[in-house]
Amino acid sequence: MQKVAAKRKVYIDKTLFERICQGDQDAFRELYELSYSPLYAFLLSYTLNAEDAQDLLQDTFVQILNNCHLYREQGNPMAWMMTIAKNLFLMKCRKERMEGINYEDVEYQLGFDDITNVENRMVLEKMFELLTLEDRNIIILHDVSGLKHREIAEMTGMPLGTVITRYNRGIRKLQKQFAERRPT
């Protein structure tokens, strides 16, 4: 599968969902290509485990495929898909609590070893090392998924000002980290 080049903003056409409901596989393929990377990043931020994130990613797309008729043209489609992903993660957490498994004790394996570009890997590692969950999620939603601050605020339930300050704070932390590490 050809990997789509990284775009500055992820734009998903809302008519894709209608076509998917009608059984258009190409539309589903197009949707998948545009959104699997941001969804994976978002899920990895929650799970901190590459395998679990992969499972949840699969479940998310299955849900989207089955429930595409439920999509209402309100706001960004990516935000709708992100909420499905988050809900699936929360359901999984509840199941595991019921089963007596403490999700936080699981060692996290981010799976960045397979990344060939060293700088990209360093950036991702520092993101998970330095930033809190909320700051990281906001940066992923804004920079990787292409959501606006206002959309992020609506999705997360945080005030807009909080979203903006946390985003700036996270970016500054990363910039500071890489500014200190400049080669002499």
Partner 1 sequence: MNKNDLRNKMQSGFLEAAPDVYEAVLKAAEKNRQLSQDTEFQEIDEKNRLLSRDTESRKTKGLMGGSMEEGTCKEQCDSRKGNVIWGNFSKYALSACAGFALFFICLFGMLGKNEDSIYVVMDINPSIQIVLDESCQVRKLQGLNEDGKNVVEKLEWKEKDSLFYTIDVLLEDVVKESYLHEGGGILVTVFAEDKALYQDLEKNLGIEIDGKLEDMGVSHVTTAFQYADGNPAGAGRTLLETQLAENFSADEQEVQQMTVMELIEYCQECIPGKLELSPSSREQQQNPSEQSKDGENSQRKELVPLNNNSEDAKNSAVRATSDVEDDTAKDEMDIGNDTCKADDKQQKSDEKKEAGQDNASQAELHNQDDDNDEQQDQKPLPTVQPAVQTQPESPSQAQPEPMQQEGISSESEALTKDTEDKKENKNKSNKKKNKNNKDKGNKKKDKNNKDKTNNKDNDNKDKNNKDNDKKVNNNKDNDNKVNNNKQNGKEVNNNRDNDNKVGNSRNSTNRNASSPQSR
Least Å from the CB of residue 100 to partner 1: 27
Among 134, 143, 148, 158, which residue sits at the site for partner 1 (rule: CB under 8 A)? 143
Residue 81 in contact with partner 1, rule: CB under 8 A: no
CA distance 29 to 33: 6
Residue 124 in contact with partner 1, rule: CB under 8 A: yes
Residue 144 in contact with partner 1, rule: CB under 8 A: yes
Residue 11 in contact with partner 1, rule: CB under 8 A: no
- Nearer to partner 1 (CB atom), residue 97 or residue 133: 133
What SS3 string covers 55-86?
HHHHHHHHHHHHCHHHCCCCCCHHHHHHHHHH
Applying the rule CB under 8 A, the residues between 150 and 179 that interact with partner 1 are 171, 174-175, 178-179
Residue 128 in contact with partner 1, rule: CB under 8 A: no
Q: Which residues bind partner 1 (CB under 8 A)?
A: 1, 3-4, 6-8, 29, 32, 36-38, 40-41, 44, 50, 54, 57-59, 61-62, 65-66, 110-112, 114-117, 119-121, 123-124, 127, 139-140, 143-144, 171, 174-175, 178-179
